[in-house]
């Protein structure tokens, strides 16, 4: 997908309303795709979203020797011919999720070579916790001018303590330990729902993992994993973004294929702003007031706290509300890149370090803005939906990393926006 020179033209003033189905979660699918190489048998992933990051992961799997093919039943992956332990440099530098392959390659081949991963510029996001966790399993890691040479010839089960509940580090250790004899315990593990989904996937292949969703995950290594057919969890961040789209435009939506328990923190803030929400087993309904009231404060935290991936979208909603809200970003030190563009659209946001004070304005104004990261780009689209006039969002290749054809989804719900080629 070559869309570096494409943009979204958003015509503001339309209510977002109707029904939408949420696809599989990007943050669940990527580690699941990586974990598929832990078995030589066929793995089929249903409801796999058509995202830039997913396409990049599939490209990496193919370069490692896997066969990947889209079929009617889902994405088929066969890694019986897996032979390459060197992750492709050009793709690794593009997406951060390339680091997810480190654990399963070591688990399967006992050696791996990888460059430091890329991704959105939202903070340092060092991979030292990944490396520390793998070293606790006996992996010898040498850094040769930015190339990590990993030797797992002496890998063993063991206790891993994470200084911070890193999602990626937790998942990498889970995958690396799945085929190691003995018992591996991850202490201070991250508790995100996507980690529970990875546990379910590994266990569906015959693994023995328990405790995901708590601070202690226990992996009993098995000799071999088998193939499976698996449907990842729905994307809670896409769902939250669509709820924000309805909220900021005074609309009313019903989202299908969602897990309301994954949206508790987001729903609580939207309810505080005056939205009415109703949860069912796998559906969420939101009806917004014409004028929203700013939430008093919002602090991002590791799960089950408010997700950092929804901070930018909630900031856009707050910018168009009545009153003043305070946002504290506790997860990443550089995740306010969208503020300058929101202010260009007429928002009144002041930033001091990790704290942003958002004073709601009566109306946002459309203008030309640029996505600087995935979720910040989505926030600019939301602001454009509520703004007077037209908003041109540039650099939408970042948005396409986490939203499959966002313009089509929103247009089906009443938006007026289109993907255009920039001159």
**Spatial separation of the C-alpha atoms in residues 239 and 413, rounded to whole Å:** 13
How high is the pLDDT of residue 423?
77
- CA torsion angle for 333, 33, 62, 155 (degrees, to 10)? 80
133 closest CA partner among 187, 199, 200 = 187
H or E, element range at 406: helix 406-411
Judge contact between 378 and 399, C-beta under 8 A: yes
Q: What are phi and psi of 333, to 5 degrees?
A: -85, -5
Q: Could you give the C-alpha distances from 368 to 15, 156, 290, in angstroms and in order?
A: 21, 54, 26
Pick the CATH number of 6-23+234-421 from 2.40.70.10, 3.65.10.10, 3.40.50.10800, 3.40.50.720: 3.65.10.10
**Res. 333 pLDDT band, cuts 50 70 90:** confident
How high is the pLDDT of residue 118?
53
How high is the pLDDT of residue 330?
94
Judge contact between 400 and 371, C-beta under 8 A: no
247, pLDDT greater than 50: yes
Coil, strand, or helix at residue 201? Answer: helix
* Tens-digit pLDDT profile for residues 168-183: 999 999 999 999 999 9
Give the mean model confidence (pLDDT) for residues 328-337.
90
How high is the pLDDT of residue 397?
94
**Spatial separation of the C-alpha atoms in residues 54 and 47, rounded to whole Å:** 12
Cα distance between the two ends of the chain: 18
Average pLDDT score, the chain:
93
97, pLDDT greater than 80: no
How high is the pLDDT of residue 123?
42
How high is the pLDDT of residue 127?
84
Q: Which pTM was predicted?
A: 0.94
Q: Report the percent of the chain where pLDDT is more than 70.
A: 94
Can you say how many angstroms the Cα of residue 95 is from the centroid of all Cα atoms in its chain? 12
72, pLDDT greater than 90: no
Judge contact between 178 and 209, C-beta under 8 A: yes
286, pLDDT greater than 70: yes
Q: Tokens 């001091």 belong to which residue?
A: 352
Q: Which residue has the higher pLDDT, 113 or 393?
A: 393
Q: Report the percent of the chain where pLDDT is more than 90.
A: 84
How high is the pLDDT of residue 92?
63
CATH code of the region 26-230: 3.65.10.10
**Spatial separation of the C-alpha atoms in residues 48 and 228, rounded to whole Å:** 15
Work out the number of other CB atoms within 10 angstroms of the CB of residue 135: 14
**Res. 145 pLDDT band, cuts 50 70 90:** confident
Q: What are phi and psi of 135, to 5 degrees?
A: -65, -35
How high is the pLDDT of residue 86?
83
How high is the pLDDT of residue 90?
66
**Res. 146 pLDDT band, cuts 50 70 90:** confident
How high is the pLDDT of residue 122?
43
* Tens-digit pLDDT profile for residues 7-20: 999 999 999 999 99
Same CATH fold assignment for domains 6-23+234-421 and 26-230: yes
**Spatial separation of the C-alpha atoms in residues 218 and 178, rounded to whole Å:** 10
How high is the pLDDT of residue 85?
87
How high is the pLDDT of residue 3?
45
321, pLDDT greater than 70: yes
Catalytic residues: 120
* Tens-digit pLDDT profile for residues 22-71: 999 999 999 999 999 999 999 999 999 999 889 989 988 998 999 999 98
Judge contact between 149 and 142, C-beta under 8 A: yes
Exposed/middle/buried for residue 81 (C-beta within 10 Å: 0-12, 13-18, 19+): exposed
Judge contact between 382 and 244, C-beta under 8 A: yes
Domain ranges of the chain: 6-23+234-421, 26-230
**Res. 117 pLDDT band, cuts 50 70 90:** low
């Amino acid at each position: 997908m070559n869309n570096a020179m494409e943009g979204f033209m958003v015509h503001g003033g339309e209510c977002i309303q109707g029904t939408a189905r949420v696809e599989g979660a990007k943050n669940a699918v990527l580690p699941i795709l990586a974990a598929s190489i832990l078995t030589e048998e066929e793995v089929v992933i249903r409801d796999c979203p058509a995202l830039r990051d997913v396409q990049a992961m599939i490209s990496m799997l193919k370069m490692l020797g896997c066969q990947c093919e889209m079929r009617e039943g889902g994405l088929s992956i066969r890694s019986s011919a897996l032979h390459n332990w060197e992750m492709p440099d050009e793709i690794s530098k593009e997406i951060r999720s390339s680091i997810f392959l480190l654990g399963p390659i070591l688990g399967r081949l006992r050696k791996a070579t990888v460059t430091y991963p890329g991704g959105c510029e939202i903070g340092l996001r060092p991979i030292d916790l990944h490396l520390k966790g793998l070293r606790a399993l006996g992996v010898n890691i040498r850094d040769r001018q930015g190339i990590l040479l990993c030797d797992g010839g002496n890998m063993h089960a063991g206790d891993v303590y994470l200084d911070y509940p890193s999602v990626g580090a937790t998942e990498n250790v889970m995958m690396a330990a799945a085929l190691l004899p003995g018992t591996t315990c991850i202490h201070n593990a991250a508790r995100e729902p996507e980690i529970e989904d990875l546990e379910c996937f590994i266990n569906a292949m015959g693994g023995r993992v328990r405790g995901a969703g708590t601070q202690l995950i226990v992996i009993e290594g098995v000799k071999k994993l088998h193939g499976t057919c698996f449907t990842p969890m729905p994307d809670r961040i896409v769902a939250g973004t669509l709820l924000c789209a309805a909220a900021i435009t005074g609309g009313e939506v019903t989202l299908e294929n969602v897990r309301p328990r994954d949206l508790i923190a987001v729903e609580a803030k939207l309810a505080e702003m005056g939205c009415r929400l109703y949860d069912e087993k796998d559906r969420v309904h939101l009806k917004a007031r014409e004028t929203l009231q700013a939430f008093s404060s919002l602090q991002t935290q590791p799960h089950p706290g408010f997700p950092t991936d929804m901070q930018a979208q909630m900031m856009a909603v707050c910018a168009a509300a009545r009153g003043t809200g305070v946002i504290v970003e506790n997860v990443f030190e550089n995740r306010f890149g969208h503020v300058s563009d929101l202010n260009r659209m007429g928002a009144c946001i002041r930033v001091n370090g990790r704290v942003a004070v958002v004073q709601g304005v009566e109306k946002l104004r459309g203008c030309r803005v640029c996505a600087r990261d995935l979720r910040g780009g989505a926030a600019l689209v939301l602001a454009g939906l509520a703004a007077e006039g037209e908003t041109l969002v540039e650099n939408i290749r970042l948005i396409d990393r986490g939203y499959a054809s966002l313009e089509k989804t929103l247009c089906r719900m009443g938006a007026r926006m289109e993907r255009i080629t920039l001159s």
